[in-house]
Amino acid sequence: MVKVGFLRSSMPVMLMVIYIGSCFAVDIQENYHVAKASYTQNRPPYTDHAARARYMVHRSDWAIINTISTKPGIEGYPFGNKWSISDGASDNSTGIPYVYVTKFDVTAKDFSVDNNVTMTFVEAEFQDIGECQISKVSDPESPLCATLLLIGSITNITDATELEFAEKAIFTRHPFMRDWPASHGFHCMKMMIKKLWLTDYFGGGVFVSVDDYFNAKP
């Protein structure tokens, strides 16, 4: 009876702490989206492939990461999973997708064996791109609704300064992640980009130079 009474008496306090923490997380995320709103309206033209690619990665809050599965029953098959990403705060794009990983994730188990991956970005995520709307004249599968594939590998971050930057980049966009259980061993990793494939107009996709991508203005 004493234990139950303690729980009941402490419940309002615990709820208040959770409420305040949740509000703080929402404020961080809302401030981030407000800050990047002016940037996201400046969509580069389809002719500037490198700038469009940087725009898509910087604007994206998530991507589909594709691995070769090691899971029993589907070994060797491509496996796609959604992952939250960040390449930096709204005013500081690096072009490097940072992710927050636990060893328990099925995708993390895949790249612990083979860390070669493909990340897929689609402008339909942004919801305000006219060419991506489902209508009589547009559709998410339209070439005008750009699709970007980053091809490379997922690696650990060994530099302490970069690791601090990566954590800030992730938690600014995804504050919910900050309180994920430490017992799951979450840590930041990054994608090393080796190839880029972009489809943003009729006539098929094109390879984008990695150097041009990183030199482009986001």
The pLDDT value given to residue 41: 63
- Domain 2-215 bears CATH identifier 3.40.190.10: no
State the greatest distance between any 2 C-alpha atoms of the chain, in Å, as a whole number. 73
Distance between CA 52 and CA 104 in Å, rounded? 34
Read off φ and ψ for residue 175, nearest 5 degrees.
Answer: -60, -25
Read off φ and ψ for residue 203, nearest 5 degrees.
Answer: 105, 0
Residues paired with residue 193 on neighbouring β-strands, in sequence order = 152
Per-residue pLDDT tens listing for the chain (218 residues): 434 343 444 444 444 444 444 444 445 444 544 444 444 468 999 999 999 999 999 999 999 999 999 999 999 999 999 999 999 988 889 999 999 999 899 999 999 999 999 999 999 999 999 999 999 999 999 999 999 999 999 999 999 999 999 999 999 999 998 889 888 989 999 999 999 999 999 999 999 999 999 999 87
What three-state secondary structure class fits 130? helix
pTM higher than the cut 0.85: no
The pLDDT value given to residue 4: 39
What three-state secondary structure class fits 173? helix
The pLDDT value given to residue 218: 74
Distance between CA 70 and CA 182 in Å, rounded? 25
Locate the domains of the chain by residue range. Answer: 2-215
